[in-house]
Structure 1
Amino acid sequence: MAAKPISPVPSVWTRATPATSQPALSRAVIVREAVAMLDAEGVEALSMRKLGARLNAGATSLYRHVALKDELMELALDEVLGEVVPPPEDTTDWRTAITEFAASFRATALGHPWLCAVLGQAGLAHLGPNLSSLSRKLAALFTNAGFPDPDSAINALYSYTIGMITTELAWLNTVARSEQSEGDFLARLLPSADGDGHVSPDTPDPRTIRDDHFDNALELVLDGLAFQLAR
């Protein structure tokens, strides 16, 4: 009895990149346009049909390069993660390295507001070269620092970072719907607002407030990791 063929792993990273007879339409071009569409319109607006229209190509042409929308999301996700500055693996100052990595990840995620929402949903995204590289370098950093369980340290870092950024993006979406500047919207919620709800000289800069919230809470996470390391 012949053996049952093994189904291919459902991820874009497990298939060879197809050859193309259309030099202008490559996987790289498709992914860059998809990222631009995601940034401008969000995940729900992205479809192979709409993307094909933006590229002046039919959906059938796109499917020669990317089989499914899920694969397109894997590719787009890994593309933007290439913007994150990875931590050095051989530093002796792991706290500074992680602080700088978290800041770079936050800047990337705020620039691509859909990233955190799909990071845990994009199939086998961990197979992508950029995410794989980040994971390897984080593991090497925590290992070299002496952490007995680098994977748990990485999970704690990502859980904090993604959770905090998701909350920050929700706030920014609320501000955007108000059709006011962040400063004016914040002033309405603070006792330092004047009678017209505008920013007074004593109202803190909203970006500074968000930066401080992120940095201060990150310090608590790093304190917890340092305690585990010392123990």
Structure 2
Amino acid sequence: MGTGAITEYIDLAQLTLYAFWLFFFGLVGYLHRENKREGYPLLDSHNENYRGGDLFGMPQEKTYILPHGQGTRTVPKAEPEGYELKAEQPVPAPGFPLEPTGNAMLDGVGPAAWAIRPEKPDLNHDHGTPRIIPMRIAQDWSVESRDPDPRGRPVYGVDGEQGGTVTDLWIDLSEPCVRYLEIAAGERRVMIPMTFARIKSNGDVIAKSVCGKHFAEAPSTANPDFVTLQEEDKIGAYYGGGYLYALPERTEPVL
């Protein structure tokens, strides 16, 4: 028998390989369980007894201590009660797509879907203050002189109709950039993510995902000085959903 041999058929290298296989299989199972802390178990609206995601089981509850005195968060946890699904299946068959039953851009379905998140602002790591605030509060910030300043300029939808006027810019203090444009749309103050806006050289703003009339119904913030995590999700979902729902022809097949 050679070096490392245990018997004529088993040696140290073979046992090492088997140990690696067992470790790798256990690692895959562990990561699969940890990946199911949110969104599981899967439920079937047509079969109340079905609970998907049982492979390797569900992870045990784990409690995280949130920074800056925000309390704790335990996952996985029971789904919130009272959540109303504003959509239905035209054909009651498993896997058939859902269609919104009301305002498709606000119903939280399809490309306009949003997750249930805390009604608290995202905080700076160092100071525990809101990281995204309007420039009227972040007075040390300004628009670079060589860049167009959209404040006071009109905002147009994909149909060319004016939906409002830019009143302020919201700054991300952690990653120095403009995150949102604040818009006066009639009597409402609404927001649009900077990623959905295009600023022309004269400062005019074009939003191709929505029409001019849609700004008046866009989600806004409860507090004029900061935006919560839940509000951020809803604002982004509204304009993202516009790429499918803002115009009737966008929901039709493309041949």
TM-score, normalised by the number of residues in structure 1: 0.28
TM-score normalised by length of structure 2: 0.26
Instruction: Point out the structure with max Rg over C-alpha.
Output: 2
